[in-house]
Amino acid sequence: MSMSRRSLLQMVGLAAGTTAMYQAMTTLGYAQASNYAGPIKLEGDPQGAKVLILGAGLAGMTAALEMRAAGYEVEIIEYREKAGGRCWTLRGGDSYTELGGATQEVEFAEGNYLNPGPWRIPHHHYAVLDYCKRLGVKLEPFIQKNYNAYLHRSEAFDGKPQRFREIATDYRGQISELLAKATDQGALDEEVTEEDKQKLLDSLVEYGMLDENYRYVKSDHTSEYRGYDKWPGGGLNAAPEPSEPISLDRILQSDLWTWLVEAETTHHQSTMFQPAGGMDMIAQGFEREVGDLITYNAKVLSMIEDENGVTVEYEDLEGGGTQTRTGDYCICTIPFSILGQIDHNLSGDKAAVIDSMYYAGSAKFGLEFKRRFWEQDEHIYGGITYTDLPIALISYPPYDFFSDGPGVLLGGYAWGATAYQFNAMQPDERTKWAVEYGSRIHPQYTEEFSNGVSVVWHKVPWVLGCYGIWQDREADYETAARIDGRIALAGEHISYLPGWQEGAILSALDAVERLHAQVTTSNAGDTQ
């Protein structure tokens, strides 16, 4: 029997975690670069047509911004008390209630925060970057790869974390040594010319830090890359002492090499960015432009279209009962995980696609510590430590370096089976385990921990999952993206960039352009 892509990705995520699943998504065409080519230009008069937009995430607010500028009357209906959707930041003083009723009060110090959803922006996500510039959102570098961070597996090196640079350098050097010796001994004579053979050897000596005998050995040269036992100093007794490389068999058996390419996918290569002060600075930038169009605390109950327009009913969550809004057209950015529970009369094939979409689960932990011990004790400034523990990783804040006050770590970002395990816990228990697991890498956790917050995405009421995964995208994508009478669907789930803000914005722009073409063509016909 053939296996669906959904099943395959689930298996990869359960067995190997987020890195392997993301690489599988890239191979299967789920994660690709942005095709944004600049601001859209909507020509033609919509003659005052009214558009209802469901959802004030980035997709919904992008659509509202561009359609109002083109002359439409626009109204946004939003479930939450604020805009942004998954573009969301938790700060001290915030309160968050998850599905099931558990409420967490965030106690972070001023200036500290957690981004439960998106937390970084690749350099080639041109639409997000363009809107940040247009909306005045200040960006700063996000540090994905830090050679001084750790790689850790519970059964490797007696559970002691290893510096990224040591594993990366030794693996690279010793693989280069094997290839150089094989080349020098003629094993590749059928594969390369004599001229290329010497070029290959020269390149391996340079790339792998090899000596004149094609060996990767303890030396000042290799220590320039992997670090020293005694670092260079000044004054008396300042000479460095080279360090001993880790043997290739230990590295191979440790499986730490599996994380060496984490920052090599195009979505994680330098330079990456983040908004200064939290990811929701992007949402706030949009909200400054279109906030007057948004009805907040409005839970959509139904979305019904006919030949004259679209009628939306919603519950006023502040006690105003059931309300009704009508428009000529509608752009619905509600995630399929929620839309499938809402009364609608979309076509049967579109409804089937909505009902079939699976939403990935994940868990994130924001842990505040009394001091930035990772900087003060271990000289880690930004970047990510990877581990086989259920927390999967620890990300160090790439801002406020060298400050004396408390700091917040992303204390875990779990996927697959472990995310479901965290789903079953109450917030206090989740935080307790995040601290326990993290202390196996950083012993300072136990003494320095102050407070924490966690978000498990299958319990986030307005999305019930992290991002949409198609059961059969090749068969269903066009059906979902096609305008259904007077309703267009948009959001990260209708993009080839699932889980990224870029996908949400590009999807919205595409829906806006196609809907506008339909509106202006219809209006032109009415005047003839």
Contact criterion met (CB below 8 Å) for 363 and 489: no
Please name the residue ranges forming H helices in 357-415: 373-376
- Token duo for residue 442: 């950083």
- Res 28 pLDDT > 70: no
pLDDT digits (tens, 9 = 90+) for 36-92: 877 889 999 999 999 999 999 999 999 999 999 999 999 999 999 999 999 999 999
| Secondary structure class of 491 (helix, strand, coil) | coil
Give mean pLDDT, residues 282-301.
98
Give mean pLDDT, residues 139-159.
97
Instruction: Write down the CATH number for the domain with range 5-13+37-84+281-358+472-527.
Output: 3.50.50.60
One fold for both 90-148+269-278+360-459 and 163-254?
no
Average pLDDT, the chain: 92
Give mean pLDDT, residues 362-369.
98
Neighbours of 429 (CB within 10 A): 12
Q: Which residue has the higher pLDDT, 188 or 525?
A: 188
Which residue shows structure tokens 């870029």?
502
Q: What is the pLDDT of residue 39?
A: 85
Q: Residue 493: CB partners within 8 Å, gap ≥ 6?
A: 335, 336, 357, 467, 468, 480, 507
- Res 167 pLDDT > 60: yes
Query: Phi-psi bin for 27: left (phi > 0), alpha (psi -120 to 50), beta?
Result: alpha
Q: What is the pLDDT of residue 7?
A: 47
- Pairing mode, strands 272-275 and 139-142: antiparallel
Contact criterion met (CB below 8 Å) for 20 and 423: no
CATH class of 90-148+269-278+360-459: alpha beta
Instruction: Please report, for the chain, the start and end positions of each structural domain, with discontinuous segments joined by +.
Output: 5-13+37-84+281-358+472-527, 90-148+269-278+360-459, 163-254
CA distance 9 to 416: 10
Contact criterion met (CB below 8 Å) for 153 and 252: no
- Position 525 confidence tier, pLDDT thresholds 50, 70, 90: low
CA angle (366 as vertex; 362, 367 as ends), nearest 5: 135
The share of the chain scoring above pLDDT 70, in percent, equals: 93
- Position 229 confidence tier, pLDDT thresholds 50, 70, 90: very high
Which fold would CATH assign to domain 163-254?
de novo design (two linked rop proteins) (1.20.1440)
- Position 32 confidence tier, pLDDT thresholds 50, 70, 90: low
Contact criterion met (CB below 8 Å) for 387 and 18: no
pLDDT digits (tens, 9 = 90+) for 197-211: 999 999 999 999 999
Neighbours of 8 (CB within 10 A): 13
- Position 18 confidence tier, pLDDT thresholds 50, 70, 90: very low
Q: What is the DSSP code (8-state) at residue 291?
A: G
